[in-house]
């Protein structure tokens, strides 16, 4: 496992998204299983672990803190503030709320600092300069090391970066989701020396090739059941992108998931994906992507094929997508 830079923060070239162990894509895994998977990731070279207070809520941070305790000084933890967590999916990035969240996250994570603190969603009610200024103070106090933004616009990134350098931007990005290529976010990260962390690099599981028209999601525990891209008709209509990944998987003696992750690794040198899993087998499979080499010619061929594929349905529900930042 090689390393990459998110601003000045050096981490493993693939990280571990921990959310799905505890929440949102099915019932929570047993604590022991979650700890085993997180520690196995570390043993396989992962040094970058992603969580948030809203995952659970709160339970995922506790899990991550317990799992990483034996080697805390050898890893970087990313967590997030920004949701109100009041029974709605409302936002709150008021400076006093940020400070409260950080104190509580430090306790749950059983640590004295957070390597990367993201604003989980841009709060239109709070100027981004105030958010960046608050995180700057937390960095000066030693409680936080680096500042990140999730689902920001290019304009917001510029404004925040002028107050406190942004180390990383985390937004949805995968071979079937090119938004950040088109809206200037990936470009501004490259210009400003900001790392990019794609969430959903495996298409919330779809790009593994293990879903089909009969796949169903528990409405009580799995968000995907309300997402347009995961309705039965979309699961069928989007199969051409999986077929593309399968073709290259055969060519490279890999799996579709490994091709999806290798594609992101080859896309830009400042991209660090955070695939999530609660399965040791899937963890091993995901991390094997670092051994899959896609040549410039492969990337050109994939791009030509990808450009001809129409993706059906939004990745999340309208209420979730409404919280993406499109400010200019």
Task: For 115-142, write each residue's pLDDT tens digit.
Answer: 999 999 999 999 999 999 999 999 999 9
- What is the mean predicted confidence (pLDDT) over 108-114? 98
Q: How many Å separate Cα 152 from the centre of its chain?
A: 13
Give 23-43 pLDDT, tens digit per residue.
999 999 999 999 999 999 999
Which domains, from first to last, does the chain contain?
3-321 (3.20.20.100)
Average pLDDT across the chain, whole number: 98
Strand order in the sheet with 114-119: 16-17, 48-50, 76-81, 114-119, 144-150, 166-172, 195-199
Give 55-109 pLDDT, tens digit per residue.
999 999 999 999 999 999 999 999 999 999 998 889 999 999 999 999 999 999 9
**Residue for token pair 């990313």:** 78
- What is the mean predicted confidence (pLDDT) over 296-303? 98
Q: What is the pLDDT of residue 221?
A: 95
**Separation between Cα atoms, residue 67 and residue 62, nearest integer Å:** 9
- Strands of 268-324, DSSP E: none
The catalytic site residues sit at 55
Which residues are registered as beta bridge partners of 149?
119, 169
Cβ(21)–Cβ(34) under 8 Å? yes
Cβ(144)–Cβ(110) under 8 Å? no
């Amino acid at each position: 496992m090689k390393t990459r830079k998110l601003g000045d923060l050096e981490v493993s070239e693939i990280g571990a998204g921990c959310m799905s162990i505890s929440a949102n894509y099915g019932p929570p895994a047993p604590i022991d299983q979650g700890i085993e998977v997180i520690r196995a990731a570390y043993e396989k070279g992962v040094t970058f672990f992603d969580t948030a207070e809203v995952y659970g809520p709160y339970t995922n941070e506790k899990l991550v803190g317990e799992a990483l305790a034996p080697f805390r000084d050898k890893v970087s933890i990313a967590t997030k503030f920004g949701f109100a967590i009041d029974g709605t999916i409302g936002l709150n990035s008021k400076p006093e709320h940020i400070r409260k969240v950080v104190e509580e996250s430090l306790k749950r994570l059983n640590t004295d600092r957070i390597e990367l603190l993201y604003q989980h969603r841009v709060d239109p009610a709070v100027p981004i300069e105030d958010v960046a200024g608050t995180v700057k103070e937390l960095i000066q106090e030693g409680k936080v090391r680096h500042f990140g933004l999730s689902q920001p616009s290019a304009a917001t990134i510029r404004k925040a970066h002028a107050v406190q350098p942004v180390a990383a931007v985390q937004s949805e990005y995968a071979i079937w989701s090119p938004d950040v290529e088109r809206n200037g976010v990936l470009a501004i990260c490259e210009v400003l020396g900001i790392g990019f962390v794609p969430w959903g690099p495996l298409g919330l599981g779809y790009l593994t090739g293990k879903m089909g028209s009969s796949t169903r999601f528990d409405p009580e525990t799995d968000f995907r059941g309300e997402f347009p891209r995961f309705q039965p008709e979309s699961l069928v209509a989007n199969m051409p992108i999986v077929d593309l990944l399968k073709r290259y998987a055969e060519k490279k003696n890999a799996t579709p998931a490994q091709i999806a992750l290798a594609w992101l690794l080859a896309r830009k040198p400042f991209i660090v994906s955070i695939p999530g899993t609660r399965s040791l087998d899937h963890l091993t499979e995901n991390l094997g992507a670092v051994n899959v080499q896609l040549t410039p010619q492969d990337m050109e061929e994939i791009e030509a094929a990808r450009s001809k594929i129409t993706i059906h349905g939004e990745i999340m529900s309208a209420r979730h997508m409404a919280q993406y930042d499109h400010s200019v």
